[in-house]
Amino acid sequence: MNIFDKNSKKYPVNKTEEEWRAELGEERYTILRKAGTEYPHTGKYNLHFEKGRYVCGACKVPLFDSEAKFESNCGWPSFDKAIEGTIEYRRDTSHGMIRTETLCANCGSHLGHIFEDGPTETGVRYCINSLSMDFENE
């Protein structure tokens, strides 16, 4: 896992914050572009187990297969694996915690965090906001 401290890179999808805000609406903009967090147990994909794939809510690039989703009871959609190369990792020291933030590698939008306490063989738990994603049926 390649973790970096500061986000200085240019992404393939690169829009101004004003463009993102107009496109996403206030609620999703706050999560995706301002690293917000939705309230636990409120997201529409928290208890969603259809077959398909989850795409970035901002740029629509596929991020997770539904097969990687599991019920973690943490209140947010949880995955044990991402589609390779789609996620970027950044050290996050906000809120008095040291965590690893997950971002879309294609547009730099905030998705959630990753924790190394996953119950499956990958050992990791991606904890992702529903508002950071859209779902596409198989």
Catalytic annotation, residues: 127
- If one asks whether residue 58 binds Zn ion (CB under 5 A), the answer comes out as yes
Is the Cβ–Cβ distance between 97 and 82 less than 8 Å?
no
Establish if 103 lies at the interface with Zn ion (CB under 5 A).
Answer: no
Selected from 24, 59, 111, 128, the binder of Zn ion by CB under 5 A is 59
Chain mean position to CA 83: 12
Q: Write out 54-91 in H/E/C secondary structure.
A: EEECCCCCEEEEHHHEECCCCCCCEECCCCCCCEEEEE
Closest to Zn ion by CB, 23 vs 71, is 23
Among 32, 68, 82, 104, binds Zn ion (CB under 5 A): 104
Q: How far is CA 85 from CA 30, 47, 108, 116, in A?
A: 24, 26, 13, 18
Q: How far is the CB of 103 from Zn ion (least distance, A)?
A: 8
Identity of the residue, 103 or 124, whose beta carbon is nearer to Zn ion in the bound complex: 103
Residue 132 touches Zn ion, criterion: CB under 5 A: no
Which residue ranges make up the site for Zn ion (CB under 5 A)?
Answer: 56, 58-59, 104, 106-107, 109
